[in-house]
């Protein structure tokens, strides 16, 4: 019998130990500044230059591009390197799974990536670092260099649909895996959160690693409330044999 396919579904709590704030936790960004949600809501962002200027400043301050993978990210990549089939389904946009060593083709970024920017008019993509450098040099709302359109991070903002191709691939993984580990996610943002239910219905062992309760706890075979940086490596070690 081969090794089980392990799906790791990661949310914001996976990256807090790397210094990236979460959104909905007790100290989350939305709890501290409810108005901040407008900065990542597509309709507000597109309609209001002031919202865009604030959003660019927020990106520069969060400095997510300088974040490094933590022990949890490294443990996932190590499990994959050791020969266990692993797929990462992530709500995170920080790219830390890939930086930790997970092959990009095995990471499905449900909410896009903050490491690139995209023009909302011509869809040209470029690097976030370049865009932030333009902001630092005095362009508060840098337009697309090719067509002059509005630039936004290559993330899925509130009010935008998930990429149906990426969601379909993630759904196939959820239906086909033997183990589904949801880590650091409130499992409240749909449709991504429904992947946990899909996996459980298909017969996978559902493990939830999260500080707070989630709507999918009743379906879980195992619930872990310990800090993710220590809990996940210990959990994954079971599947490395």
What is the chain's Cα-based Rg?
A: 18
Q: Is 15 exposed, middle or buried (0-12, 13-18, 19+ CB in 10 A)?
A: buried
Report how far residue 171's alpha carbon sits from residue 41's, in angstroms, rounded to the nearest whole number: 25
Report how far residue 95's alpha carbon sits from residue 99's, in angstroms, rounded to the nearest whole number: 6
Active site residue 111: yes
Judge whether 157 and 41 are in contact, CB under 8 Å.
Answer: yes
**Nearest by Cα to 88 from 99, 68, 103, 70:** 103
Spot the catalytic one: 73, 97, 111, 123.
Answer: 111
Any idea which residues carry the catalytic annotation?
Answer: 111
């Amino acid at each position: 019998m081969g090794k089980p396919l392990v799906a790791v579904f990661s949310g914001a709590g996976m990256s807090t130990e790397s210094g990236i704030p979460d959104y909905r936790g007790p100290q989350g960004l939305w709890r501290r500044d409810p108005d901040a949600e407008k900065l990542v809501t597509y309709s507000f962002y597109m309609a209001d230059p002031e919202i865009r200027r604030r959003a660019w400043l927020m990106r520069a301050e969060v400095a997510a591009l300088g974040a490094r993978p933590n022990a949890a990210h490294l443990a996932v990549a190590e499990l994959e390197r050791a020969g266990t089939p692993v797929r990462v389904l992530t709500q995170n946009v920080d790219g830390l799974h890939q930086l930790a060593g997970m092959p990009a083709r095995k990471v499905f970024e449900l909410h896009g990536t903050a490491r690139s920017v995209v023009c909302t008019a011509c869809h040209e993509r470029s690097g976030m670092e370049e865009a932030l450098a333009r902001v630092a040099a005095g362009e508060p709302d840098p337009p697309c260099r090719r067509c002059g359109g509005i630039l936004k991070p290559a993330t899925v903002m509130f009010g935008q649909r998930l990429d149906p191709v990426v969601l379909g691939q993630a759904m196939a993984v959820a239906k086909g895996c033997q183990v589904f580990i949801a880590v650091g996610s409130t499992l409240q943002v749909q449709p991504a959160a429904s992947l946990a239910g899909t996996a459980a219905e298909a017969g996978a062992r559902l493990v939830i690693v999260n500080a707070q309760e989630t709507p999918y706890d009743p379906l879980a075979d195992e619930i872990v409330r310990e800090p993710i940086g220590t809990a996940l490596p210990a959990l994954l070690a079971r599947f490395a044999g």
